[in-house]
Amino acid sequence: MAIRKIVEIGDEKLRKHCKPVEKFDLRLKILLRDMADTMYENDGAGLAAPQVGILKRACVVDADGTLHELVNPEIVSREGEQEGPEGCLSVPGRAGVVRRPMKVTVKAQDAKGEPITVTGEGFLARALCHEIDHLNGVLYVDIMEREILRDEKDEDADVPATDVPADSAAQPASTPPDGEACL
């Protein structure tokens, strides 16, 4: 198990258009495994290669209890629309309201280079869009409708509260909105 360091907003690596993966070798398998380890270690629901400083088109997503390893992913269809809170492991302590398709179908390759298709609805669709944006140098803060402010989380019924009462130290203040793990 290898946990890699997560690159944070302000680093140029998050702003690059990542290159397609051409070699399906041991190095790629290790990268994907390390990315999954790093995602789970940080309680994330997705992680893209540029978030660990590797400018290749690869990401991992686990938003539905299944680990998806996606190499050279492309969204081939989008349906509907959803608006909801979103956070990012590379943008710690913040959250925003982002509009995404309700359902997407993604074509990709697996670690061996075999073609795969993943269809996701709801949060899985959101996670797939978020990770593929990372491969194009796009962060959710670029496209969000608005920032979710700390005070507002307690007041706005549409956004799950994150802040814990002052007398409780159970959770750090940077925890993303409940049920919406960072991507």
Catalytic center residues: 131
Phi, then psi, of 27 in degrees rounded to 5: -60, -40
Residue of 94, 70, 104 lying closest to 180 (CA atoms): 94
Return the number of the residue (88 or 98) whose C-beta is nearest Zn ion: 88
How many residues of this chain bind Zn ion (CB under 5 A)? 2
CB of 129 to Zn ion, least distance (A): 11
In the chain the first and final C-alpha atoms are separated, in Å, by: 20
Of the listed pieces 4-12, 26-34, 157-165, 175-183, which binds Zn ion according to CB under 5 A?
A: 175-183
Return the number of the residue (32 or 183) whose C-beta is nearest Zn ion: 183
CB of 87 to Zn ion, least distance (A): 8
Phi, then psi, of 161 in degrees rounded to 5: -70, 140
Residue of 4, 118, 116, 100 lying closest to 52 (CA atoms): 4
**96 CB neighbour count, 10 Å cutoff:** 21
Residue nearest Zn ion, CB atom distance: 88
The two tokens of residue 9 are 């907003």
CB of 74 to Zn ion, least distance (A): 18
Stretch 70-89: interaction string toward Zn ion, x if CB under 5 A: ------------------x-
In the region spanning residues 118 to 137, those forming contacts with Zn ion, defined by CB under 5 A, are none
Return the number of the residue (87 or 101) whose C-beta is nearest Zn ion: 87
CB of 112 to Zn ion, least distance (A): 26
Query: Alpha-carbon torsion 98, 104, 109, 111, what sign?
Result: positive
Out of 14, 97, 128, 183, the residue judged to bind Zn ion by CB under 5 A: 183
Return the number of the residue (71 or 157) whose C-beta is nearest Zn ion: 71
**12 CB neighbour count, 10 Å cutoff:** 8
Q: Which amino acid is at 12?
A: E
The residue ranges that bind Zn ion (CB under 5 A) are 88, 183
